[in-house]
Chains A and B, each alone.
Chain A
């Protein structure tokens, strides 16, 4: 079970999904860069949640919710930041990730040339995240 987004169960399941998805492995075979979801309070989420994902050559090497015990040694190469309701709309397929970025609903920080060169990888990563999402906080 994927668990509720955002939760430890969701993150664990997402890591497994990325590591077992053949399409993602193929499309993301050249991707090098860790990533952080910076989920800001909004809707039913009252405190920020940050999810770290170490993505490398089509696999997810590590994934966890950042807290006192788990934190990356350095800032992730890419940070996706948005209030929880916007993350929820993307994961439910109600908001295209590019639309979210271009209509100021999702901030993206990181190496933008690299990101733009790898839009297909990013979109397939989002597909996996959507497939991994059965339930959202508050549902």
Chain B
């Protein structure tokens, strides 16, 4: 990989960091390599919003290579949302532009005394004033900076007012509404007075064996284009399977308390395709094009909602209007705020209001109720502006629960709000949420796709019943390892590319001679490294849990009456992972077997 640009915003000092070859061989790139680079810096004493806290943008070895779904980069730091490992990846065109500019990452420390943005252009780096852009929403920020730079079509990763206010659910957005949404990476940018990172490059992207790579990626793209899942996602977006998830009882509703909602079929990729869809968008060289372009009553073309936003600002809030979800999603994007965390936290506030724990005196006179789109819109504005009752919600569900003595009712794990895949319908998600290194996340493993059939035997995976218990624990671990590789490369989960094809792409791209097993081992290595980072930050087995609402049976729907046998599942998972059941640490032997002996010495110091 190319060097990582280092920038100290306090001093303006700019340098380069050359990634050691051994690190690339062990971690490939992306989030895995970021964990290696950040390992020594993420200490319990570090304030994630301090100048000392590093913020790392990183590509993977396939980023920008026109291979299947390879247009992504990742942003990593100590998370202000969780206090643990922070990681969020993003599509669009930023990753390829950075590669073409001669870098594969940007390591940012310090804090500028005035708002700035970074401009990276073919090896040239400049810090430019963002005083005129501070306070602007994310789309307007991109327009203004692009006009100011007048340099063709740069890609601009930026924050909105939520990031400026350093709220823990602040995101980073680039291009046509592509976001690094989770774990509050936008707040870390805001804390550095950094409004945006704009990139533009024209240089060729380095590959070890470009001729071989090009032939394989062309064939892989053709196959991916014809794939049934690709065609479904192209046609219906990420909400393609929403009807099925609803049928299985995995689409959460009314604050994760209901399994049925009359008329919920309007909350689907199919309905959007048949009603408001007017176009599709794609990230760099993507043959799928999951992005939705919709037109509402005003006729204006705008980004349409993906599954998480559609459900988050839909059934979770007892709303059934794709237009409302579209508008709320756009508001979240413009403020620069994660739609999953925002909608989940609003639903929790409504729950507490319904219970009388939150009152009109707390909300500034807003009566919170299920299915009230106007109140939801008002709350989103207040959160994005960090004002009034919104400033309480903006801290996330865990903080809201703590404030009102109801933390156990918040549907979150370790400070990250649960994504919209209910483990009562698809039980593997219980382990995914409980053990993810970044909280209740669906992007360290989209095991819900395995539950509905995407169990690839080439990875040694099996197909289990959707509500099976401990028997599927090892299967979950394999899938987490595999998706850790996706997040290292950094490629999109929607790419239904055969595992062997991915190996066949990596080898000529990186000069490797790997097998699928080598890949899984590298995934397991990084999974355990992220775990070790969190262990050093204070995470133990006690953190591996599900929130109470998910351990209560639903009254109706496809998962009615079912609760996962979580303790048995977690025991089996620990066995599969070779993690110490008392501490929750990877065992010393496991770490050594993964070439992480240097980590073992930290977690298990020898006397």
Contact = CB atoms under 8 A, between A and B. Distances in A.
Secondary structure at the A interface, as helix, strand, loop or mixed, is: helix
B454 interface: yes
Contact of A108 (B228, B270, B454, B456): B228
Contacts of A114: 270
Contact of A116 (B240, B449, B456): B240
Interface in B139-171: none
Nearest to A81: B228
Nearest to B236: A113
Secondary structure at the B interface, as helix, strand, loop or mixed, is: helix
Nearest to A103: B456
Contacts of B231: 112
A109 B498 CA distance: 20
B606 to A, nearest CB: 45
Interface of A: 96-104, 106-109, 112-114, 116-117, 119-120
Contact of B453 (A99, A107, A112): A99
Interface in B227-254: 227-229, 231-232, 235-236, 240-244, 247
B257 to A, nearest CB: 24
A112 B463 contact: no
B228 A101 contact: yes
B228 A107 contact: yes
Contact of A113 (B228, B247, B274, B498): B274
Contacts of B227: 104
Contacts of A96: 453, 463
A101 B235 CA distance: 16
Contacts of A104: 227-228, 496, 498
Given A104-B496, A104-B498, A107-B228, A116 B270 contact: yes
B473 to A, nearest CB: 19
Given A113-B274, A117-B268, 20 more contacts: A96-B453, A96-B463, A98-B453, A99-B453, A102-B452, A102-B453, A102-B454, A102-B496, A106-B228, A108-B228, A112-B235, A112-B240, A112-B270, A114-B270, A116-B240, A116-B241, A116-B268, A116-B269, A117-B243, A119-B247
A32 B273 CA distance: 19
Q: Which 3 A-B pairs have the closest CB atoms?
A: A98-B453, A113-B270, A99-B453
B572 interface: no
B455 A116 contact: no
Contacts of B457: 103
A11 B241 CA distance: 30
B571 interface: no
B16 interface: no
B251 to A, nearest CB: 13
Nearest to A100: B453
A31 to B, nearest CB: 14
A109 B457 CA distance: 24
B92 to A, nearest CB: 25
Interface string B490-510: 000000101000000000000
Interface string B439-453: 000000000010011
Contacts of A99: 453-455, 463
A102 B455 CA distance: 8
Nearest to B449: A102
A101 B453 contact: yes
10 contacts: A99-B453, A99-B454, A99-B463, A101-B229, A101-B453, A108-B228, A112-B235, A112-B240, A113-B274, A117-B270
Nearest to A113: B270
Contacts of B498: 104
A116 B454 contact: no
B265 interface: yes
A98 B232 CA distance: 13
B454 A113 contact: no
A116 B229 contact: no
